[in-house]
Amino acid sequence: MKNPLTNTLMVLLSTAVLGSLASYALPWWGLAPAAALAGLLFARKGGPSLIGGLLGGGLLWFAYAAAAASGEGQALTARMAELSGMGSPAVLMIVVALIGALLAGLGAWTGWQARRMVAG
């Protein structure tokens, strides 16, 4: 995997899959160890690990927020957006995605750092 794009895609997909699986057993912070594991296993450089984690975590949490905002949860999402001062559920979903992206990006970068530390 010498191609940086392939490396980024591997980190992105593994972050999304491992983060999704971690959400069944761990609270919201379970995305960080899942992304760290993805960065540890698949990242070869710091940039692709950070970008892959950012995109994987952001897309995963945006999908969760969009699923929660559809159908029966639409009224609750609108109320939460209003109470938090965001006004629109779309803004709330973007903020949730940014938090997930930051959490997973730093987690994947930490996994890459651990790989560097162990490999020497």
Domain locations along the chain: 4-119
Name the stretches of the chain with pLDDT < 50: none
- Per-chain mean pLDDT for the chain: 92
Q: CA-to-CA distance for 14 and 3, rounded, in angstroms?
A: 17
Q: CA-to-CA distance for 25 and 70, rounded, in angstroms?
A: 24
The residue written with tokens 């950012």 in the block is 54
pLDDT digits (tens, 9 = 90+) for 52-75: 999 999 999 999 999 988 888 788
Residues 43 and 116: beta-carbon distance below 8 Å: no
Q: What type of residue is 112?
A: W
CA-nearest of 68, 69, 53 to 111 is: 53
